[in-house]
Chain A
Amino acid sequence: MNSCYRKTLQGLNKYICFSKCICNFGICRILILVLFSISIAGSLKAKEDKTVIVLNSDSSIDKYSVVHTEFKSRINNPVLEIDLGSKWLDEEEIKEKMIQIDPDIIYCIGSKAYQMAYKMRRDNKLVFSLMINWKRFPAGKNVYGVSNELPQIMQLSMYRYFFPDINKIGVLYSKAYNIEWFKNAVKSAKEVGIEVIGRSIRKPDDIKSALNKLLQEVDAVWLIPDPVVIRDIESVKVIFETSDKARKPVLAYDKAFIGFGATLITSADIPTMGKQAARIVQEILTEQEISERVQDPAGSFNILNMKKVEDYDLQFNNEALDSVNEIVKLSYIKKYPNY
């Protein structure tokens, strides 16, 4: 009986001690601090797991798919990949997903993806690539990316490298869209010993007469993505046919012009653009300093039309063969006229 009574007393004593401890303000404060730190650490941990959404304008387009794959091989944490080319997605659904995830970065492939991301989540950090003429689009301080166009000096350096005898290059442009571009091109060209001569046009109907005058002065024609010059397929045909009659090569910026008879295509290398975009995302995620918000593409992709080189008796620098990615020959053009 005695021992039983003692045990009860000891139990009661322990309970009283425990209650005293709980009621002790010092210990309470420590407890609160510990809980507070745990919750802060938890939230910090959650913040560390930064999220990236990849928004692809249309993954069935080859270059969009290539850049997406390259990006994914370097960035492990995209939590969501949305293909805007898919028929089964609507804007509301995408918006809801974006709100749910609240990503740290949205990587936008192509103009459609960027426009949607900017409309929905302009306060998030947006990284873009494969946007034709990105300067046309609105961009805030949260926008980063890789430009679609090779810097003029890089293109001109390639022209000088491949064709040492080409000293005067002609450009058709519209003052409304490309006057600044043209002025810069003239300046850059001097660095590589090339003279850029331009003719501005106001409407596609002016192409033929302007080009005929230009062809008398230049060794080659440099085709640029000017919306007045390249209004439609007819204006493209006029440029290529007129230049061909004058036996002057056309230096273009997209693979699509090979079928029309472009002699050299110099464009940005797509996988390298994916690597650059991934690097920007990594730098943002690790809070590194980003020197340039929009970078120029670092790699080039060159397609050479050997048939045209032979037809026009062009002096091609054989040393530059290791910088050619594709050589197009007559048989290929005959087989795929729209290539």
Chain B
Amino acid sequence: MTSFINTFSIPIRRNAIFGKYRQVSSICLWFIFLWLLFPSEIFASRYTIYFYNPETNINNFVLLKNEFDRYLSEHGQFTFQPFSDKETFEKFAAKRKSGIFLISSWHYQDLSKKIQIEPVLIGILKGKPIQRKILFAKGDITNVDSLMGKSIASSGSEDYTKNILLQMLGKGKEDIINSLNVLTVPKDIDALMAFGFGMSDAALTTEHTQEKLSKINPKLCNMLNELASTETYLQIVAAPKQSDENIQQLLSLIAKMTSSLDGRKNLKMISLDGWKKVSKAERKYLEK
């Protein structure tokens, strides 16, 4: 019996060693498998700014990501993640607790009903947290009713454009708003130029863009016929209601963007020139 055990003792030990190797290698394989399957979950330790803005049809994501990542990485393990699609953004963002959101005020009102977030900072441009959205129309369109079935150029998504128009014109004009053919263009200035050069019957842009155009092409600017307008808040920085130290650090990093040249340049890319803390009145408005 002993000799039998002795005869087999070496192979048994070898088997044990191989078994350990097998165990280690299977754990490694599992890890690789999980890494391939859920890369973001495994490396989710990086705190991220999740960006989505339906107000502008931003298509310079690579540029935004590169420039924001460069700025953020100088201050810690932070990244910037822009999204082009609302559904993907909400699906992704709703699961994440290790990040903050840079979104439009319009979207905040919707998103805050779905996930536990609160507004912390509000963007400012020329010292104001508010922008005036203007509906311009051709000279022969003298009232809103004449807009029925016409085309409108806008840098916002179709949803956003129609929502702003609803806010601007009221529910009574819903039929007219729904009949509009929205031509989504990449930039606010494109919307105004597309309209100005006859590619659409109307345009939805901001007062700020109108001012820009007046410097470039005053003749074209004088031809613009303002039909209606409304005011909206600029972009919002929102954070999870239960935040941690990293989130606080990321928030202060954003708030300090104006104190560096790169930070100011990055803000310009998203059409802002600073931040302010959300006041009680603003919070009340945003959370209604």
Interface residues of A (CB under 8 A from B): 151, 153-154, 157, 160-161, 191-192, 269, 271-272, 275-276, 279, 282, 288, 292, 295-296, 298-301, 318-319, 321-327
**Segment 167-193 of B: residues with Cβ below 8 Å from A:** 181, 183-190, 193
Contact A161 B216 (CB under 8 A): yes
Select B190's contact among A160, A288, A300, A326, beta carbons within 8 Å: A300
**A321:B217 contact, CB within 8 angstroms:** no
Inter-subunit contact B217/A298 (CB<8 Å)? no
Given A192-B216, A322-B270, A325-B63, does the pair A299, B265 have CB atoms closer than 8 Å? no
Taking the closest CB of chain B, its distance from the CB of A315, in whole angstroms, is 14
Given contacts A279-B181, A325-B63, contact A191 B219 (CB under 8 A): yes
Q: Give complex CA distance A154, B59 in Å.
A: 19
B220: Cβ under 8 A from any A Cβ: yes
Determine the interface band of chain B, counting residues with CB < 8 A from chain A. Answer: 20 to 34
Q: Which one of B63, B194, B269, B270 lies within 8 Å of A298 (CB-CB)?
A: B194
- Contact at A292–B185, with CB atoms within 8 Å? no
- 21 of the cross-chain contacts (CB-CB < 8 Å) are A154-B197, A157-B193, A160-B217, A192-B216, A271-B59, A272-B184, A276-B199, A279-B181, A288-B149, A298-B199, A298-B200, A300-B186, A300-B187, A300-B190, A318-B265, A318-B268, A321-B269, A322-B188, A323-B189, A325-B59, A327-B63
Which residues of chain B are near A276, meaning CB under 8 Å?
A: 183, 199
- Within 8 Å CB of A300, what residues of B? 186-187, 190, 193
Residues of B within 8 A of A296 (CB): 197, 199
The interface residues of chain B lying within 8 Å CB-to-CB of A323 are 187, 189
Interface centre among A154, A292, A295, by most chain B C-beta atoms within 10 angstroms, is: A154
* Contact between A299 and B185, CB atoms less than 8 A apart: yes
B115 to chain A, nearest CB (A): 28
Tell me which residues across on chain B come within 8 A of A157, comparing CB atoms. Answer: 193, 216-217
Chain A residues near B200 (CB, 8 Å)?
Answer: 298
Residues of B within 8 A of A191 (CB): 217, 219-220
B residues less than 8 Å from A153 (CB atoms): 197, 217
| A304 closest partner in B (C-beta) | B63
Q: Which residues of the partner chain A approach B188 to less than 8 Å between Cβ atoms?
A: 322
- Taking the nearest CB of chain B, how far is it from the CB of A293, in angstroms? 13
| A109 → B minimal CB distance (Å) | 19
B186 in complex: contacting residue of A151, A295, A299, A318, CB < 8 Å: A299
Contact assessment for B59 and A161 in the assembled complex, using a CB-CB cutoff below 8 Å: no
Max chain A C-beta neighbours (<10 A), residue from B62, B188, B197, B217: B217
Find the A residue at minimum CB distance from B151.
A279
User: Are the CB atoms of A322 and B217 closer together than 8 Å?
Assistant: no
| Option from A275, A319, A325 in Cβ contact (under 8 Å) with B184 | A275
Alpha-carbon distance between A295 and B198 when the two chains are bound, in angstroms:
9
Which chain A residues border B194 with CB–CB below 8 Å?
298-299
- Whole-angstrom distance between the alpha carbons of A299 and B183 in the complex? 10
A324, B216: Cβ atoms under 8 Å?
A: no
Residue contact A301 to B186, C-beta cutoff 8 Å: yes
If A161-B216, A292-B198 touch, whether A269 touches B185 (CB-CB below 8 Å) is: yes
Given known contacts A157-B193, A296-B199, is B219 in contact with A319 (CB within 8 Å)? no
List the A side residues contacting B56 at CB < 8 Å. Answer: 322
Assess whether B187 is in contact with A322, with CB atoms less than 8 Å apart: yes
A293 to B220, CA, bound (A): 23
Which single member of B62, B149, B193, B270 contacts A154 (CB below 8 Å)?
A: B193
Question: Would you call B278 an interface residue if the criterion is a C-beta within 8 Å of the partner chain's C-beta atoms?
Answer: no
Do residues A192 and B212 form an inter-chain contact, with CB atoms below 8 A? no
Contact, CB under 8 Å: A325 / B151 = no
Contacts of B151 in A (CB 8 A): 279
Are A192 and B190 interface neighbours, CB within 8 A? no
Report the minimum CB–CB distance from B185 to chain A (whole Å): 4
Contacting A at CB under 8 A, from B236-275, are 265, 268-271
Name 13 extra pairs, CB < 8 A, besides A279-B151, A300-B190.
Answer: A151-B197, A154-B193, A192-B216, A269-B59, A271-B59, A296-B197, A298-B153, A298-B185, A299-B185, A301-B59, A321-B265, A322-B188, A326-B63
- CB neighbours (8 Å) of B181 from chain A are 279, 282
**Bound Cα distance A292, B201 (Å):** 12
CA distance A296 to B196 in the complex (A): 12
Q: Is B2 an interface residue (CB 8 A)?
A: no
B161 CB to nearest chain A CB (Å): 13
Min CB–CB distance A304 → chain B (angstroms):
9
A23 to B59 Cα, complex, angstroms: 72
Q: Can you name the residue of chain A whose Cβ is closest to the Cβ of B153?
A: A298
> Which A residues are CB-close (under 8 A) to B270?
322
Are A275 and B183 in contact, with the CB atoms below 8 A? yes
Identify the 4 closest CB pairs spanning chains A and B, nearest first.
Answer: A298-B194, A321-B268, A299-B185, A325-B60
Tell me, in angstroms, the Cα distance from A3 to B184 when the chains sit together: 81
Is B183 a contact of A326 with CB atoms below 8 Å?
no
Closest to B267 in A: A321
Q: Do A295 and B59 have beta carbons less than 8 Å apart?
A: no
By a CB distance below 8 angstroms, the chain A residues around B183 are 272, 275-276, 279, 298
A20 and B151 alpha carbons, distance in the complex (Å): 61
Measured CA separation A12–B59 after assembly (Å): 81
Q: Is the CB of A319 within 8 A of B265?
A: no
Report the Cα distance A265→B114, complex, angstroms. Answer: 42
CB distance from B102 to the nearest CB of A (A): 14
Q: A301: which B residues are within 8 A, CB to CB? A: 59, 186
A322 nearest CB neighbor, chain B only: B271
Residues of the B chain whose Cβ atoms lie less than 8 Å from the Cβ of A325? 59-60, 63, 186
